[in-house]
Amino acid sequence: MNRCTRVTFSGSSGADYQFEVYPLNAIFNDFAAVYMFTKRSEGADGEGRHTAVFIGESEELGARLSEQDVLKSVERYKFNCVCVYREDDEDLRAAAEADLRKRYKPKGNGRAHLLN
């Protein structure tokens, strides 16, 4: 896995979560994490900006992402990064996912056809 950079996303609670950012073609081993598909673009200041498209969590990230029909979703939603926040504790992972979804309201969540 070749990580590109790190980015911090803040949840609706104000908690900060530091994510590792990877290209879409990254292959992951199995580990527990919250993951976010984002559309990365460059702002006027030259800094990268991430727009959350889908937020999920998994105890086995590698297996979870290999199940997804990512290419069809990329075409439809135009995301270009996978952001990963490692968290082993299932309750903390679920809380982080809910906190981030509440803040960012990603358009891909709640749509059965995304990543099915």
Q: What is the pLDDT along the chain (116 residues), one digit of tens a residue?
A: 566 789 999 999 999 999 999 998 888 999 999 999 999 988 889 888 899 999 999 999 998 887 766 656 766 778 899 999 999 999 999 999 999 999 999 988 865 444 43
What is the C-alpha radius of gyration for the chain, rounded to an integer number of angstroms? Answer: 13
Residue 114 belongs to a domain = no
Inside any domain, residue 111: no
What pLDDT is stored for residue 51 in this prediction?
Answer: 92
Q: Rounded to whole angstroms, how far apart are CA atoms 97 and 94?
A: 5
Q: For residue 116, is it within any domain?
A: no
Report the residue count for the chain.
116
Full domain range(s) for residue 87 = 5-104
Please give the pLDDT value at position 116.
38
Residue at 9 is within a domain: yes
In a domain, 109, yes or no: no
Does residue 113 fall inside a structural domain?
no
Paired tokens of 61 = 């990230």
Q: What is the pLDDT of residue 57?
A: 94
* pLDDT (0 to 100) of residue 108: 83
* Residues with Cβ within 8 Å of residue 112, at least 6 apart in sequence: none
Residue 78: the pLDDT is 81
Give me the number of domains the chain comprises. 1
In a domain, 29, yes or no: yes
Question: What's residue 113's pLDDT?
Answer: 42
Residue 39 inside a domain? The answer is: yes
Q: Spell 88-111 as b/e; 16+ CB within 10 A means b.
A: eeeeebebbbbbbbebbebebbee
**Those residues with Cβ within 8 angstroms of residue 42's Cβ, 6 or more apart along the chain or in another chain:** 48, 49
